[in-house]
Amino acid sequence: MENKIKKYIVMSKFGHSDRFMLEKQFINRHSADYYANLMKEEKEYDDIEYFLFEQSVAYNNKKEDSRKEEEYEDSIPF
């Protein structure tokens, strides 16, 4: 059985904070949306927001990118 990449990540953040917390990872967006909606309905915490992040690049599986730093849109060096 092949392990599927859980590329949809639900994270949360309290309104007074600038840090995200990992909630759960999913293999499809439908499951991530369903989970986030359940958590919103549960209202376990006041002032908490949920966010969906999607993995777009697996760096350890990515071939060397030949683009120069200045070609990146955000121009933030690593």
pLDDT in tens, 17-66: 999 999 999 999 999 999 999 999 999 888 999 999 998 887 776 665 55
Q: Dihedral through CA 59, CA 26, CA 28, CA 20, nearest 10? A: -70
Query: Which residue segment(s) compose the domain that 14 sits in?
Result: 1-56
Residue 74 lies in a domain: no
Q: Residues near 44 by Cβ (< 8 Å), separated by ≥ 6?
A: none
- pTM (two decimals): 0.68
Interatomic CA distance for residues 20 and 57, integer angstroms: 20
Residue 61 lies in a domain: no
**How many structural domains is the chain composed of?**
1
- pLDDT in the model for residue 3: 77
Residue 44 lies in a domain: yes
For the chain, where are the E strands, in sequence order? Answer: 8-14, 21-26, 48-54
Residue 43 lies in a domain: yes
